[in-house]
Amino acid sequence: MGCQMNVYDSEQMFRILLPLGYQETSHLSKADLIIVNTCSIRDKAEQKAYSFLGRLVHYKRKKSGLIIAVGGCVAQQKKHHLLERMPHVDLVFGTHTLHRLPEWIRNIEQKNRSHGVDVEMSDQIHEIQRCGIPFDPTHQKISAYVTIMRGCDNYCSYCIVPYVRGSEVSREPSYIIEEIRQLVSNGVREVTLLGQNVNSYGKKQGLCSFSELLALVNQIDGLCRIRFATSHPKDFSDDVIQAFRNNEKLCSHLHLPVQSGSNHVLSMMNRKYTREDYLKKIETLKQYCPDIACTTDIIVGFPGETVSDFKETLDLIQTVQFDGLFAFMYSDRPLAKSSSLNHKLSEEEKNDRLKELLEIQSHNTIKKNLDEVGKTVEILVEGKSKKNHIRENCEIVEWTGRSSSNKIVNFVKSSADHNIIGQQVNVMIQKACAHSLWGEVV
């Protein structure tokens, strides 16, 4: 559950447990071990974790040997309180201790011991996490996440991440390059470099800069595409803007969370940039890369956000014309500074603002998608499209992939071309939908 870093961590857990004889199943009722990798970024995500964990009581009753483990940010935050609340859980482990998972699972298996808890908060990233866990060749993928750093030192006032993921630590470039080489030799064509604030990569430990890392990754033979997430506007620097021009594998998309268009709110959020700084960076980027797609994150209803603050956010959205955005209603997080602020908005007010903002953005997204019609774009083919069952047993197959600008593109091609997954195909866009594009191979 949760962000891309959670997905990466879940894959690491899967790979580290393979030697114990575990295999993946998509049926909960067949599982002997269920690991819930939780997210606590917003209250809704945390509640989702509890509700899912609650449902697992049923499976535990049916199968007494079933092991239930809880990792991720809720585990790190709640520690042993989670076991008190969820007695059917066998293990709670922290965000920095994935490498010890096999040992704990073995213990529980062998001693049939329940109620272990380990929640360590350490800046020491274990060797396995620094080097990555050996790739499982049976798990074929075209696109993979690669964590380049963990933790965050920014302490945005609404955010729980620095408290549950610890302070910022970057991985050595050589480990990152080696991990990507391994992925590429197993068929991966696209990597997304992950960190809470990739633009400050390497600074604290005196490693290379993020733009230098991008140049190194760009040289890896067999890799077609590079993406990264997430950037912080205060650290998004000119050398990264140049990197979009200098590295042909770097995709034409930037996700730059702005959070609010009001300087008053940005200052309350401790974001350390102004609306003007943000707009200037986007303007410079677009001067260098006119076709680049930009997306963002917005929080609506931060404590004390007035109607005029909110209007400034709407105004910023119209000025930038984002290709897409993620918008969230503000929620209090334990330990985060903003929880103690006055002038909280009601759920209804937050909901109304969210709706208004999403309505505006949906028009902008459609406009951006329509701009693509008539263009020929290169698609990295990820697989058959979900709609494909309609065409099952026909000679024509509907495929899906993404453009460099991260737009989902569906297109049809003869089923004789069953090996096009992982290939780059030129597609002429013919139709724009709300969330995807449709085209024909040229």
Q: Which of residues 180-199 bind ligand SF4 (CB under 6 A)?
A: 196-197
| Per-residue tokens: 360 | 């505006």
Nearest to 22 by CA among 71, 86, 72, 66: 66
Closest to ligand 5AD by CB, 259 or 405: 259
Distance CA 69, CA 111 (A): 16
Q: Kindly report the length of the chain.
A: 442
Closest to ligand SF4 by CB, 161 or 191: 161
Q: What angle do CA 438, 4, 330 make, to 5 degrees?
A: 95
Under the binding rule (CB under 6 A), the answer on residue 403 touching ligand SF4 is no
Which partner, ligand SF4, ligand 5AD, none, binds residue 162 by CB below 5 to 8 Å per kind? ligand SF4
Stretch that binds ligand SF4, among 28-36, 110-118, 147-155, 311-319 (CB under 6 A): 147-155
Under the binding rule (CB under 6 A), the answer on residue 232 touching ligand 5AD is no
Which partner, ligand SF4, ligand 5AD, none, binds residue 197 by CB below 5 to 8 Å per kind? ligand SF4
Name the residue with tokens 């049809």: 412
CB of 162 to ligand SF4, least distance (A): 5
Secondary structure of residue 141 in the 3-state scheme? coil
Q: Which of 235, 297, 356, 417 binds ligand 5AD (CB under 6 A)?
A: 297
- Strands 190-194 and 143-147 come out as parallel
Q: Which of 331, 365, 400, 403 binds ligand 5AD (CB under 6 A)?
A: 331
Under the binding rule (CB under 6 A), the answer on residue 299 touching ligand SF4 is no
With DSSP H G I counted as helix, E B as strand and the rest as coil, what are the percentages for the chain, rounded to 5? 40, 20, 35
Burial 357-371 (b: 16+ CB within 10 A, else e): beeebeebbeebbee
Which partner, ligand 5AD, ligand SF4, none, binds residue 198 by CB below 5 to 8 Å per kind? none
Stretch that binds ligand SF4, among 61-69, 152-160, 239-247, 277-285 (CB under 6 A): 152-160
Under the binding rule (CB under 6 A), the answer on residue 288 touching ligand SF4 is no
Nearest to 322 by CA among 354, 287, 282: 282
Distance CA 392, CA 19 (A): 37
Size of the site for ligand SF4 (CB under 6 A): 10
Q: Please state at what angle helix 307-320 crosses helix 347-372, rounded to 10 degrees.
A: 10
Contact between residue 72 and residue 2 where contact means Cβ atoms under 8 Å apart: yes
CB of 263 to ligand SF4, least distance (A): 17
Distance CA 343, CA 326 (A): 24
Measured between its terminal Cα atoms, the distance across the chain in Å is: 38
Under the binding rule (CB under 6 A), the answer on residue 152 touching ligand SF4 is yes
Contact between residue 191 and residue 180 where contact means Cβ atoms under 8 Å apart: yes
Under the binding rule (CB under 6 A), the answer on residue 429 touching ligand 5AD is no
Closest to ligand SF4 by CB, 147 or 404: 147
Strand extents, DSSP E, 211-360: 225-229, 253-255, 293-300, 324-329
Under the binding rule (CB under 6 A), the answer on residue 130 touching ligand 5AD is no
Whether the ω angle into residue 313 lies within 30 degrees of 0, i.e. cis, is no
Size of the site for ligand 5AD (CB under 6 A): 12
Closest to ligand SF4 by CB, 154 or 424: 154
Under the binding rule (CB under 6 A), the answer on residue 159 touching ligand SF4 is yes
Q: Which of residues 20-49 bind ligand 5AD (CB under 6 A)?
A: 41-42
Distance CA 157, CA 134 (A): 37
Stretch that binds ligand 5AD, among 115-123, 323-331, 357-365, 373-381 (CB under 6 A): 323-331
Under the binding rule (CB under 6 A), the answer on residue 199 touching ligand 5AD is no
Under the binding rule (CB under 6 A), the answer on residue 234 touching ligand 5AD is no
Q: Which of residues 215-274 bind ligand SF4 (CB under 6 A)?
A: 232
Distance CA 66, CA 68 (A): 6
Q: Which residues bind ligand SF4 (CB under 6 A)?
A: 152, 154-156, 159, 161-162, 196-197, 232
Q: Which residues bind ligand 5AD (CB under 6 A)?
A: 41-42, 158-159, 257, 259, 297, 299, 328, 330-331, 333
